[in-house]
Amino acid sequence: MSYTCYLGGALWPTPEKLQVKIKGKNKTLVLLNEGEVNFLRAPGLTEITVPFDLPMLTGSQSPDYFLGLLERMKTNKETTQFMLVRVSPSGGMLFDTNIKVSVEDYTITEDGKNGLDVAVDVNLKQWRDYGTKTVTVEEPKAESATPTVTVQKEREASTAPTAKTYTVKAGDCLWAIAAKYYGNGADYTKIYNANTDKISNPNLIYPGQVLTLP
């Protein structure tokens, strides 16, 4: 089984382990003569701890590149998608960890036993989008007035959108293509599912392939 790890829109070295903590917010109270009772509440934000080993000489990118990504996300207060994709030896997609997160903190360690390589422990926390909603209620002007609903004419078949295509270039990956065309690299599965006749492994695409972008 192979693993592919994405954070900040970049492909990272595969971590040796991954710790995901699903935090509970249940509250236990002691009632007089009744003992303890547990009040069930919605779960808290998921926390993820990822230890990365960043090779200095053998990796596709230097440690400075990855540490720069972490600094940018932390300094600019950016959220991002964390993904750990699991693929079976036959190339089939297994379940993946896919969650929108913020970078809480990270610890950089340089150890002489690891040579020039750099270790960084990254703590991530689930991000839930939130905001206020405004609702405007309009009353009919007359008591007998009733709301009206207007149905737009159905679109002509000739104006229906057509699927786009993209020719893979050297250095491309599905994550980067999805980020460019959909604004979110996590939507790479849309491209994969639309091109299973061409792609057996979503982590392996080749220059010259013509992919359908649904």
pLDDT in tens, the chain (214 residues): 578 899 988 889 999 888 999 888 898 989 887 789 898 888 899 999 999 999 998 888 899 999 999 999 999 999 999 988 888 877 777 778 888 999 999 999 988 888 889 999 999 999 988 776 666 666 666 665 665 555 555 555 555 556 688 998 887 888 888 888 888 888 888 888 888 888 888 888 888 889 999 8
Beta strands in the chain (DSSP E): 2-7, 10-12, 19-21, 27-31, 35-39, 47-54, 79-87, 97-109, 118-126, 164-167, 210-213
- Give the SS3 label for residue 118: strand
DSSP state of 207: T
Structure token pair of residue 117: 């390589």
DSSP state of 32: T
CA distances from 163 to 25, 179, 181 (A): 45, 17, 12
d(CA 201, CA 214): 18
Give φ, ψ of 88 to 5 degrees.
-70, 160
